[in-house]
Amino acid sequence: MTPNSVTSSPRDYAAFPAVLEADGRSSEVLVLRLSSAGCLFECSTTLVRGDNVRITFHDPDAKRVEAEIMWSTEGLVGCNFAKMLSDTGVKQVRLSDPVSSGGQTVADIDLQQLAQAIRKARWNAQMSASEMAKRAGLTRPTLWS
């Protein structure tokens, strides 16, 4: 696979499930960021740079893309799609985002203000990020992203 430059493509914040196929096994992953060139997702499957995988999004067309793992650390994985998604393809996937509510998606929320409010509350409670993630039922990498 020829990797695309994920970092040069505009990325949307996201929070929606997809299906990862790697080594003949399927597992659910949580997509955290999406661009036409690739995505960032959280998963429990051990993946390493260079692994080739398939990701199926839950959009109406059930887009299935081939991707190459670019990096993986603490449950977070970055990948490049073998073939870039069109702008329309990215929009279709985003519109199927179950987090969407009343026309507002995660991308529409002022994430900077939300992050600052959470950080302030955590500091006021003298709580580490790891402890907050544990109490929220999240992994530390999810809280980081």
What pLDDT, on the 0 to 100 scale, is given for residue 66?
A: 96
Per-residue tens of pLDDT for the chain, all 145 residues = 444 444 455 555 667 788 999 988 999 998 888 889 999 998 888 999 999 999 998 765 667 899 999 999 888 899 999 999 888 888 777 776 554 434 444 444 566 666 777 777 787 788 887 788 888 777 777 766 5
What pLDDT, on the 0 to 100 scale, is given for residue 2?
A: 43
Sorted by sequence, the CB contacts under 8 Å of residue 138 that are 6+ apart come out as none
Instruction: Give the C-alpha separation, 64 to 135, whole Å.
Output: 34
Tokens linked to 86:
């069109």
CATH superfamily of 6-107: predicted glycosyltransferase like domains (2.40.10.220)
Three-state SS string over 71-104 comes to EEECCEEEEEECCCCCHHHHHHHHHCCCCCECCE
Sorted by sequence, the CB contacts under 8 Å of residue 24 that are 6+ apart come out as none
What pLDDT, on the 0 to 100 scale, is given for residue 4?
A: 45
Q: In 3-state terms, the chain is what percent helix, strand and coil (to 5)?
A: 30, 35, 35
The strand pairing partners of 33, in sequence order, are 13, 40
Decide if 45 contacts 20 (C-beta within 8 A): yes
Q: Write out the H or E segment, with its range, that includes residue 24.
A: none
